[in-house]
Amino acid sequence: MPANMALKKRVPRLRMREEQMYPASDGLPMSESTKQYKWIVRFAENLDYLRPDDFVGADNFWYPVEGRPDIRTAPDAYIAFGRPKGHRPSYKQWREEGVAPAVVVEVWSPSNTFADQVYKLQWYERHGVQEFWAWDPERCALTVFVRGGANTLEPVNVAEGWTSPLTGVHMIVRDDELQVTGPDGRPFRAGDEMRVEIAEQEAVLRETQAERTQARREATKFRSQARSARRETEAAQREAEAAQSEAEAAQREAEAAQREAEAAQREAEAARHGEANERDRANALAARLRALGIDPDIA
């Protein structure tokens, strides 16, 4: 069997073993309440929309160390800057050029204890997270941690609101509600609203592309017509110039014929004048001969 065929058969088996070694999830539900679920989906879908060039994951395992499937966690949502979008059963950091998720979001459930929250904070700090956003919808509590000069995740004051330096996302708690807006000032929408908006934008984009395609077709048609008209004009101009040249040649031929006719006429008149002069001289000579008594008519 050729080596490349053997390799092709081995790759799926290797991938299967790897997925068994690094499972995508622990089988537990994403959330414990609809409130928590809606916030997870809202963060994940809006961040994915705002970051078209980055991978945004949600509720799948992040494995930072190859060969250590026991070192793992499943953020509710996260952003890996510079990593391409696409399906991943789990986020294996060594397969992502070593890029760790820079922004992590957790939506606490009622069962999350203070010890759970501290464990998550320490885990994210240890593995390179730059911003850690945590929202507790039951207690209406927002906490944010940002990596500081000591290379640790330090809490920031969010009482008057806070804007993420990495994403431009702004968050503030008002009237026991978390208000989240994107860099453009637009609020984060629910999943259904987001999908409707994306569908509308895609429809507008398709319409715009169709209009551009039609405009390009019409422009191509007009350019073709203009080229045809220009060629016809140039052909007509060449024909006119050829006709003018023929007319000028005919005129020159007519003028030459006229000159020849005038020359022939002059020659004929000269011949007539010569004959007349000859007759005059003959008559004069005959007269002189008669005066001498000689008859010029007698041979």
Q: How is the chain split into domains, by residue range?
A: 3-188
Question: Residue 153 and residue 35: Cα distance in Å, rounded?
Answer: 27
d(CA 80, CA 90): 13
| Eight-state DSSP code of residue 131 | E
- Average pLDDT, stretch 23-27? 68
**Are 109 and 137 within 8 A, CB to CB?**
no
Supply 75's token pair. Answer: 């953020």
Q: How many CB atoms lie within 10 A of CB 11?
A: 9
Overall pTM surpassing 0.85 (yes/no): no
Q: Please name the fold of domain 3-188.
A: tt1808, chain A (3.90.1570)
Q: Kind of pairing, strands 55-57 and 77-80?
A: antiparallel
pLDDT digits (tens, 9 = 90+) for 41-74: 999 999 999 999 999 999 899 999 999 999 999 9
pLDDT at 11: 45
Q: Residues 290-299: what's their mean pLDDT?
A: 80
Q: Could you tell me how far CA 292 lies from the centroid of its own chain?
A: 123
- Whole-angstrom CA distances from 151 to 59, 124, 129, 131, 136 are 26, 12, 10, 12, 26
Res 297 pLDDT > 50: yes
Q: Which residue, 105, 102, 47, 56, is CA-closest to 76?
A: 105
On whether the CB atoms of residues 19 and 89 are closer than 8 A, the answer is yes
Q: What percentage of the chain's residues is helix, strand, coil (to nearest 5)?
A: 50, 15, 35
DSSP 95: G
pLDDT of the residue at 45: 94
